[in-house]
Amino acid sequence: MMRIATRPHSPWQKTCDSFHESCWIPASLCRYIASGFLFAVLSIGGSGAFGQVSPWFVKAIYYEPLGSTGFRSISGMATDPLSGELYVLDAGRHAVDVIDSAGFPRFTFNHWVTDQKTGQKSAGEPNSIAITSEGDIYLTDFFSHKIDILNIRGEVIEHIDMLADVGWEGTSLRPEKLGIDTLGWLYASIGGERSGILRRRLDGGRAEVFLDAAAEKIDCITGMAVAADGRLAILDYRGVPAVRIYSPEGKLLLGFGDHEIAGGDLSFPVSMLFAEDGTYWVADGLRQAVKHYSSDGKFLEFIGGFGGAPGNLRFPSALVGDGVSHLAVAERVGRRVQQYVLPGALAANELKSLRPANASPIPPGLEPPASSEVASDPQTEK
């Protein structure tokens, strides 16, 4: 299901009670988070005193995957470079949903995890996904210590055990977030009793340690992003800086973001996007915002604010897009994916779809309004 809407940023409008009712963590802890971050959430969702609201409008909102009553807990997303289709990971339904550029669901498959000792299959909880330009699909699961390679039907064709390659042992160790660059590397963040970044050539071979979290004094990795040119970003929930960007050789290039209450600070960074213009977008899962930073890490603007209205966010969990003309944001608790049209598209009076130029056009009636319409009537919903 998809809805098109043009609506300005609206303020935070939920109470602490509604905050914890749909939270995926215990209500007592949720109340603590709500009270502890109330000021931060209000500042992000309010008048913009702690940062300028980015001009945007919501092109589409995706609610219901194929044959489902709705998303339950979106954990990750990726765009297929070949088809432009959006892959949405729903850990709550143990499923991966494929959605085209017009918001229509194309295919859904469940992800299963096999017990290596008993051979028994159980429903998994897909965590992260990365897709190569050749169409190879790599996927991690909260319940698996291996990375699965899937075909387009969601069938597992190979397992990759990066942990065994580098000799990292521990029952709690898991590959978590994935990323692929154009230099031929697959990256995986590792969580558990030991943390860091491993990488492996896409054409095979053994994995290697790219970064050891302890050696780099990284406290808690909650997200990772890989740029096409091989730069890698690590998001740190507790350490400072909250965002660190490394070269393909592992050299620290830039760090930004504290865990205080200023507009550019971050409470719980969960996803990041390298924009095509050299800037960065970072999703904050507690401040209910996606923040925009310059190429040197200066805070520019944000989108979001806590709530269920178009443009508001309820625990953003993943980002895809080019970061200039369009940005898709998944919400774990909001149970939807919103596609924002950014100033890069409005200035050119055109929308870059998630599909490539040679893909089928958006059906009549689903096109976004022209930029003049947005400026003259930003409150209109269609």
pLDDT in tens, 1-29: 333 332 233 222 232 233 333 333 333 33
Mean pLDDT of 249-266: 95
Structure tokens at 100: 């085209």
Nearest to 278 by CA among 291, 251, 297, 301: 297
Judge whether 352 lies within some domain.
Answer: yes
Mean pLDDT, range 193-205, rounded to an integer: 96
Which pair of structure tokens corresponds to residue 370? 């022209």
> For the chain, what's the residue count?
382
Decide: 224 and 187 in contact? Cβ < 8 Å. Answer: yes
Any domain includes 382: no
* pLDDT score recorded for residue 215: 94
pLDDT tens column, 133-186 = 999 999 999 999 999 999 988 999 999 999 999 999 999 999 999 999 999 999
- pLDDT digits over 66-116, tens only? 777 789 999 999 999 988 999 999 999 999 999 987 778 899 999 999 887
**What domain count does the chain have?**
1
Residue 247 scores a pLDDT above 70? yes
Report if residue 381 sits inside a domain. no
Alpha carbons 311 and 290: distance in angstroms, whole number: 11
Residue 207: give its domain's CATH number.
2.120.10.30
The pLDDT score that the predictor gives to residue 102 is 74
By CB atoms closer than 10 A (0-12, 13-18, 19+), residue 92 is middle
Q: 118-127, long-range: CB within 8 Å, 24+ apart, which pairs?
A: 123/94, 124/94, 125/75, 125/91, 125/92, 125/94, 126/75, 126/76, 126/89, 126/90, 126/91, 126/94, 126/95, 126/96, 127/75, 127/76, 127/89, 127/91, 127/176, 127/177
Rounded percentage of the chain residues whose pLDDT exceeds 70: 76
**Sign of the C-alpha dihedral computed for residues 101, 228, 338 and 109 taken in this order:** positive
The residue range of the domain holding 10 is: 2-376
* Phi (first) and psi of residue 4, to 5 degrees: -105, 135
E strand segments, 305-365: 316-321, 326-331, 336-341
Residue 75 lies in a domain: yes
